[in-house]
Amino acid sequence: MNEKKLGLPSVISTGVGLIVATSCLMSLGSGAGALGIGFIIPMVLACAINICTALSMAELNAVMPNLTGGLAQYTLAGMGPFVTLVTMVGGYIVCQSIAGSVECAMFGNAINSVFDTGIPSSVWCILLLAVLITANLLGIDMFAKIQNVVVYGLIASLVIMGLLGMFGMGTGERVSQPMNLAGSFSDCFALLGLAFFLFIGCEFVIPISQNVRNEGKNIPLGMILSLVVICGMQILVVAGTGNYVKWEDLGESVSPHILYGSSLLGRVGSLWMILVSIFAVISTVNSAISFLSYLCAGMAKINLMPEVFAKRNKRGAYYVGVLLIGAVMTVVNATGLSTSDSLSFMILVAIVFWMVSYIIANINVLIFRKRLPKAPRTFKVPFGPVIPVIGIIGNLFMIWNIDGDPAVRNSIYAIDGIIFAILVVYAFLWCRFRLKKPLFQAIPIHEVMAMESPLYIPAHRKKKPGRGMTGKTVRTGV
């Protein structure tokens, strides 16, 4: 019974792990290239809005602790199966499968940009995936060990390089330029959607909360600290970059973080920043595979995905989800789809669903406050409904500012509308013919909690005649 083996450092590393991806480093460079140090304003705003959502996630976990699927189970209890399916499949499974594949592709490109191996980038991608799939199959302890090493190496590297640049201690030639390119707050708001991408993913600690010591304290604290650490680290990098790289060059670069490293420390800086990129890729893909396997298992336990996803191997890993998500990423990289020019645009498309899932999380808090005001909570968001409401408004505002170009923004909305329509049809059919439940009928919290136990016998399972089982829901000893 010693499953709760992860401490606060592992919670922080998991929260940081998915957030600081190579694509985030590229987005950081793009934002700084457009606004200079003025990009710090939308960064701080996006971080604050995401802290509101992190606090709401922590309260949801306190109301319904030790659940494998996290947000899926909260939403089932708050808003019913239809909303759960749309937000979870769209906002997480599809989004993270795409994002993880892109990160793997960047890993292969980083290797070949430094070393003339003669090996296709896709081969490096697949080798990385094989290692991370194996690590996740070995269980949560191996996941945490890998995560701690690469994430804290990543944080230390970016902080040091940011400080070197900010205090002018690099070996490269310093540049003279205006540090702030933002003319007004409207310029900052136009990049708020881009800044949001720098802070998404701290809730990835929720599915592993049952493996965390003192989760009532470490889960909310770990999520908030991961966001604050990332914000501080990225502020240092932006401030340092302006002393060594022309903003226009930074905005035009396809690898702005590599450009900063080479401008700061020459060849050593390039190699160092490539190492940072590799750390970022490993931490992101490692977190994505682990999180999605837990999410799929949690959804299987509440009958929103096939039951096979809830099976564990002898190391305690949800191996079906690990293998499936790993296989999807492998296929995407093997076919070269992850190097498509349109993938960065598609990530923005997927991010809209992620923002919607954050809105749903904040709404769930308000629903539970109204429905269960006296329910025991090991953590409760302060100031009544203020913080969840700020989280809802903030995410809606960021959806509106997903891109500064109106034409691009409208294209994102159009594609999201099509994806949403497909998910609506899928969710309707699943609820109608598989669950056979009303679309928006919330499942009582105690039933959702009971589904986590192996003693719970879901209503859709029927034993053979003579085995003493009826078609009704049975809960034994829970």
Written as tens digits, the pLDDT of the chain (478 aa) is 444 467 887 777 777 766 766 667 777 888 899 899 999 999 999 999 999 999 998 899 888 877 766 678 888 889 999 998 888 887 777 777 777 777 777 777 767 766 777 788 788 888 888 888 888 888 655 556 666 677 777 788 889 999 999 999 999 999 989 998 888 888 888 888 888 888 887 777 776 677 778 777 888 888 899 899 889 989 999 999 999 999 998 887 767 888 898 899 998 988 888 888 777 777 778 777 887 888 888 888 878 888 888 888 888 888 998 998 888 888 877 876 555 555 567 667 777 888 888 999 999 999 999 998 888 888 889 898 999 999 999 999 989 888 777 888 899 899 888 888 988 998 999 888 888 888 888 888 888 887 776 666 444 454 444 343 333 443 333 3
CATH class of 8-442: mainly alpha
pLDDT of residue 363: 95
Q: Which amino acid is at 117?
A: T
C-alpha 227/C-alpha 204 separation (Å) is 12
For helices 256-265 and 267-301, give the axis angle rounded to 10 degrees: 150
pLDDT of residue 428: 92
What are the beta bridge partners of residue 456?
Answer: 475
pLDDT of residue 131: 86
pLDDT of residue 145: 63
- Taking the alpha carbons at both ends of the chain, their separation in whole angstroms is 18
| E strand or H helix that includes residue 395 | helix 386-400
C-alpha 354/C-alpha 244 separation (Å) is 34
C-alpha 76/C-alpha 373 separation (Å) is 18
pLDDT of residue 147: 60
Closest CA to 230 of 401, 52, 17: 17
pLDDT of residue 473: 41
pLDDT of residue 344: 61
Would you list the domain boundaries of the chain? 8-442, 444-478
Helix (H, G, I), strand (E, B) or coil at 475: strand
Look-up of token digits 């708020």 = 192
pLDDT of residue 68: 65
Residues 6+ apart with CB under 8 A from 339: 105, 109, 121
pLDDT of residue 369: 92
